Structure 1
Amino acid sequence: MTFDRRFAAAPFAAVGTGCVVAGGLVAAVTAPAPSTHASWAAAYLVLVAGVAQIALGLGQAALASHPPSTRQVAAQVIGWNVGNAAVLAGTLTGVLPLVDLGGALLVIDLALLIHAVRGGLRRSTRVGRWALYGFRVLVLLLLVSIPIGLALTRIEPA
């Protein structure tokens, strides 16, 4: 991976790693008195805000036909993290419009990411094709999970 591509992946990797650490800290701090919200928040921070962000950033940097611009990366990282913060804050406080706004930001960000890898650089190789398929599957999985998550926030616990 060239310097430009590593530079494009770095913000996703740095913030995503911070989210994984934050999720671990939430789990550790709330372990003595676990709650549904705390467990959900820890998992969300690790899986969606952290691991998915790292994979999306690395995938875009490696698969796009041209390294994304600094402006493009900044918009995507900000959009992804503001969206996740809105989902977390809205869910934990019960403010459903905030959850919806966060979900919408995440969908927009996923559209930007999938658009960035169209005509991907590595399509010509077998490994590149599989990497592109994997990236698309991750985006599809996230796109399917967003409306499911939005619906689940509206279900009252038993």
Structure 2
Amino acid sequence: MTNASVSTPLSRSAWTHPTALPFAIMGTIAVVGGSLLSAALAPNPSYHGNWAVAYIVLVAGVGQIVLGVGQAAVTAGRVRPAVVAVQALMLNLGAVATVIATVDDIAALLYLAAVMQIVALVGFLWVTRHVARGLTLMALRIVAVLLLISVPTGVVLQALVH
């Protein structure tokens, strides 16, 4: 995964650049969907419901937006479409699988989800390894590292609970 291949130059906002769109769209859907889920679950709150809302909004939503839009901004959109597709697929399938596995207590699916998300997160760090330093890159790396720490931590905590 490198940023050597040139797609279209980043002449528009990083939000609307083709390399950011999958993350911006899916992240926004996750934020809105998680918010709607929160409203639906409010009359009967539960541990798993509250956890799912927080996970969907913060990880699948905000985290994905920071990673995807940040990557487009710091690489000037010079990320191969195939790399973006793998990152988006792994991140989103991993998020969906994490929620299902946690709520339904399916350990094997949780392990698979963790691997998918780690692949995506390492991909973001790898693609941005040679870009110029700045606040956007720092935000991207902080989010990626925090998520890289939280993924195995969550798997271990889930295993200890059950």
Instruction: Report the TM-score when normalising by structure 2.
Output: 0.86
Give the unaligned 5+ runs of structure 2.
1-9
1:53 counterpart (50, 64, 67): 64
- Tell me the amino acid that sits aligned with residue 10 of structure 1: L
Is residue 71–residue 77 contact of structure 2 (8 Å, CA) maintained in 1? no
How many residues are treated as equivalent by the alignment? 151
Query: Are 2:11 and 1:2 aligned?
Result: yes
CA apart distance, 1:68: 1.2
Give the equivalent residue in structure 1 for 2:137: 132
CA apart distance, 1:133: 2.2
Give the equivalent residue in structure 1 for 2:4: none
SS across alignment from 1:34 = coil
State the 4+ residue runs in structure 1 displaced beyond 4 angstroms: none
Give the equivalent residue in structure 1 for 2:126: 115
- For 1:136 and 1:52, the matched residues in 2 are separated by 11
- For 1:64 and 1:101, the matched residues in 2 are separated by 29
CA apart distance, 1:4: 9.5
Q: CA RMSD in A?
A: 1.7
- Tell me the amino acid that sits aligned with residue 148 of structure 1: T
The verdict on how the C-alpha distance between 1:4 and 1:46 changes in structure 2, with shifts beyond 3 A counting, is closer
Query: Are 2:83 and 1:78 aligned?
Result: no
Q: Which has the higher contact order (CA 8 A, sep 6+)?
A: 2
Identical amino acids, percent of aligned pairs: 36
SS across alignment from 2:156 = helix
CA apart distance, 1:90: 0.5
Q: Deviations over 1:9-44 (max 9, x none)?
A: 111000100011111111111111110000000000
SS across alignment from 1:7 = coil
1:8-157 equivalent positions in 2, closer than 5 A: 8-64=19-75, 67-120=78-131, 123=132, 128-156=133-161
Give the unaligned 5+ runs of structure 1.
none
Instruction: Report the TM-score when normalising by structure 1.
Output: 0.88
- For 2:140 and 2:161, the matched residues in 1 are separated by 34
- For 1:131 and 1:156, the matched residues in 2 are separated by 37
